[in-house]
Homo-oligomer: A and B are copies of this chain.
């Protein structure tokens, strides 16, 4: 595959949302989806939908739409989610628990197979069926389990230390939920999850909604 330009990242970020909708349709026995329907669901213009989906190599039939099954397969293939990728997670606090318990990851090609923590009270416990190992065993376990993905859920102050340990253990991709940017060697890929990004979008949408209702409707007071 040729390198995907960074401008395509918003498209890639949206692919799981398409996948979710298409899977729901597939379960409901729907065979074909028209672009306007996807546009309404995604809250995007039809041209954006067509451009988004073109990245997977599938093009819709004009006037008809996309074959649901074909599109699901194409998205999963594009993201290499046909076979789930295994990951380990460091930091079995509340966010770690939430991610270990998230019911959608396997649909999205991700299988978290073990967790690590430094807290003696957590080590040896099971979280949603996964054992929490001593962080000191990270390198050993990563090699034993042949894992290339690591998820960081520790507080910001420990995140760099954990990233260094992951890199030393051979992890190639890091999904970083800590509120800090990490320094890693060039051969390691980091995706930082800025949860507040969604809140920024909500803030702007909400302001627009308020302004529009102020302009178009009499103000309601109780």
- Residues of A that sit less than 8 Å from B by CB: 1, 3-4, 6-7, 9-10, 12-17, 20-21, 41, 43-45, 48, 78-81, 85, 93-95, 97-99, 101-105, 108-110, 148-149, 155-156, 172-173, 175, 179, 181, 186-189, 191-213, 219-222
Contact = CB atoms under 8 A, between A and B. Distances in A.
A187 B213 contact: yes
A85 to B, nearest CB: 7
Nearest to A211: B1
A173 B48 contact: no
A128 to B, nearest CB: 9
B13 A208 contact: no
A173 B93 contact: no
B191 A193 contact: no
A121 to B, nearest CB: 16
8 contacts: A1-B211, A20-B181, A93-B101, A95-B95, A104-B179, A175-B199, A191-B198, A193-B195
Contacts of A9: 10, 201, 222
A43 B21 CA distance: 30
B187 A206 contact: no
A210 to B, nearest CB: 7
Contacts of A173: 202, 205-206, 209
A172 B41 contact: no
Contact of A186 (B186, B202, B221): B221
Contacts of A187: 209, 213, 219
Contacts of A108: 196, 199-200
A99 B199 CA distance: 12
Given A4-B204, A200-B108, A220-B3, A172 B16 contact: no
A136 B7 CA distance: 45
A192 B222 CA distance: 13
A13 B189 contact: no
B104 A186 contact: no
